[in-house]
Chains A and B, each alone.
Chain A
C-alpha cells in the first residue's frame, strides 16, 4: 500500500481589517488610510464566516457551518464560501496555507 496525503487549503482573516456591527450593518473597515476603499458591508452570512475566520478554516469547515445554520445544500454552501473567500482575497483580507491531512 502506498502511503499518501491529501492537501487542503485553509484560510484565516488578516488583521488589516476591522469588523464592527454598526446600526444593524456588518461593516468591514480597511486599516491604513492608503486603502482605496475604506469601508465594505458584509451580509449577515459573510459576517458569520468572518468571525469563524479568526481561526484557520477550510472551505469544507466553513461550508459545514452554513449548512448547519441555514440548511443549505452542501454544494451551494461550498460555492458561497468560495465566492466569499475570493472577495476577501481580492481585498487582501485573508491569508491561506496548504495543510496535509
Chain B
C-alpha cells in the first residue's frame, strides 16, 4: 500500500542535474538549458520519473540563468493576486514574474515566453541557498505545462487515474471528492496509479489518452505513465454504487470547470474546449455514485461493457 492518508506529507530529497534537464509531461517535453552550460537544475525526487534523455525533441526550450531579475515594465495583463503577474506584448510574447517567500514578497522567477511558445528564458533570482535553478518550482512548472497543453491538444484536470489492462480510467473531482480514495481502492485491486490528484488528458492521432503527473495528491509513487482513455467518471459519494452516463454537452462543461487552466488567452480557451469536445466524442463520461469500497471500482471498470458512449 503506497497511498498515505490525505494531508499526510512524506519526506523527499532534491536531485540536481548539471547544465541541462529535460522533463516530459504527457506528450510534451520541456528542456531547461543553462545559459552558461554549467548551472545545475534541481527537482524533487518525485519528479525523477519525468526526466527524459536530453536528445528528446522538446516542445519548449528555456535558456536559464541565476541572477538579478530584470523585471518587465508595461501594463499587467493579468495578476494572480500576490503570486504572479503576466504581461503580454503586442506580438504575443509573455513575461511572467512569479513570487515566493513570506507573503509572496520576493520575486523569484522571471519567465519569458517567445510568441511561438517554443523558446523562452528563465531567470531565477539568487535567493536560494544552493545556486540551482528550481526546474520544478511551484507554481512555475505547472504554469508552463498548463499553458503548453492548451496549445498542444491537452488539458490538466483535477483527477486521479487508474490503469487497468492497458486502459485508463479517470476519476474527476475537486478536493474531497474521493480521487485519492478511489486511487487507493484501485491500487489494492491491482491497478497502476500514475496520479491521484492531477491528470493530463490529450488527443493524439485521433485517440484520447490519460497521463500521470508529479503534482500534489498524497501518492508517493508519481509516474508519467499514460494509456488510452477508456472512461471518465465524476465522483459523487452516495449510499449506493451506480453509474449515470452524461450527455456530451454537459460532460464538456463539467470537465471544463475542473481543469487547471488559467484561461489567459482566447485561442487557448477555444483549443481547450475543442480538445474536450473531441474527448467526449471518443470516450464515455458518467457520474460514478460510489461508496468507498472495491465494489465501486469494479463497477467503474466493468461498466464499460454495460453502458454505451455518452449521448
Q: Which residues from chain A sit less than 8 Å from chain B, CB to CB?
A: 15, 18, 20, 22-25, 27, 29-35, 38-39, 41
Q: Does B81 sit at the interface, judged by CB under 8 A? A: yes
Which residues of the partner chain A approach B263 to less than 8 Å between Cβ atoms?
29-33, 35, 38
Closest to B280 in A: A23
Distance, CA A6 to CA B294, complexed state (A): 72
Within 8 A of A (CB), among B14-37: none
Q: Is the CB of B277 within 8 A of A34?
A: no
Question: Taking beta carbons and an 8 Å cutoff, which residues of B are in contact with A?
Answer: 78, 80-81, 248-249, 252-253, 256-257, 261-266, 269-270, 273, 276-277, 280
Instruction: Determine the distance from Cα of A27 to Cα of B81 in the docked complex, in whole angstroms.
Output: 27
The residues of B that contact A34 with a CB separation of less than 8 Å are 80-81
Whether A31 pairs with B81 at a CB distance below 8 angstroms is no
Is B257 a contact of A39 with CB atoms below 8 Å?
A: yes
Q: Which residue of A lies closest to B78 (CB)?
A: A32
Task: Please state if B262 and A38 are interface contacts (CB–CB under 8 Å).
Answer: no
Residues of B within 8 A of A24 (CB): 249
In angstroms, how far is the closest chain B Cβ from the Cβ of A12? 16
CB-defined A-B contacts under 8 Å, sample of 15:
A18-B270, A22-B249, A22-B273, A31-B263, A31-B264, A31-B265, A32-B78, A33-B263, A33-B264, A34-B80, A38-B257, A38-B263, A39-B253, A39-B257, A41-B253
A86 to chain B minimum Cβ distance, whole angstroms, is 24
Chain A residues near B266 (CB-CB < 8 A): 15, 18, 31
A27/B273 in contact, CB under 8 A: yes
Contacts of A22 in B (CB 8 A): 249, 252, 273, 276-277
A94 and B266 alpha carbons, distance in the complex (Å): 16
Verify A23–B277 contact, CB threshold 8 A: yes
Cβ of B143 to closest chain A Cβ, rounded Å: 11
Residues of B within 8 A of A35 (CB): 263
- Whole-angstrom distance between the Cβ of A50 and the nearest chain B Cβ: 14
Q: Name the residue on A nearest B270 (C-beta).
A: A20
Chain A residues, Cβ within 8 Å of B252: 22-23, 25
Complex-state Cα separation, A50 to B269, whole angstroms: 18
- Min C-beta distance of B203 to chain A, whole Å: 15
| A25–B253 touching, CB < 8 Å | yes
Q: Do residues A23 and B262 form an inter-chain contact, with CB atoms below 8 A?
A: no
Query: Contacts A23-B248, A39-B257 given; 19 further ones with Cβ under 8 A?
Result: A15-B266, A20-B273, A22-B252, A22-B277, A23-B277, A25-B249, A25-B252, A27-B253, A31-B264, A31-B265, A32-B78, A32-B262, A32-B264, A33-B264, A34-B80, A38-B263, A39-B253, A39-B256, A41-B253
Q: Is the CB of A33 within 8 A of B270?
A: no
Bound form: Cα–Cα A20–B276 in Å: 13
The 3 closest A-B pairs by CB, nearest first: A23-B249, A33-B262, A18-B269
Q: How far is the CA of A18 from the CA of B264 in the complex (A)?
A: 11
Q: Which residues of A contact B270 (CB under 8 A)?
A: 18, 20
Contacts of A29 in B (CB 8 A): 256, 263, 269, 273
Most buried by B among A23, A24, A25: A23
In whole Å, how far is B168's beta carbon from the nearest beta carbon of chain A? 22
Per the bound structure, the CA–CA distance linking A23 and B276 in Å amounts to: 10
Residues of A contacting B253 in the complex (Cβ-Cβ under 8 angstroms): 25, 27, 39, 41
In Å, the complex CA distance between A20 and B272 comes to: 11
Nearest chain B CB to A38's CB is how many angstroms away?
A: 6
CB closest chain-B residue, reference A20: B273
> B256 touching A38 by the CB < 8 A rule?
yes
A29 to B280 alpha-carbon distance, docked (Å): 19
Which A residue's beta carbon lies closest to that of B77?
Answer: A32
In whole Å, how far is B47's beta carbon from the nearest beta carbon of chain A? 24
A33 to B139 Cα, complex, angstroms = 14
Which of A18, A35, A41 gathers most chain B CB within 10 Å? A18
* A27 CB contacts on chain B under 8 angstroms: 253, 273
Distance of B255 from chain A, by nearest CB (Å): 11
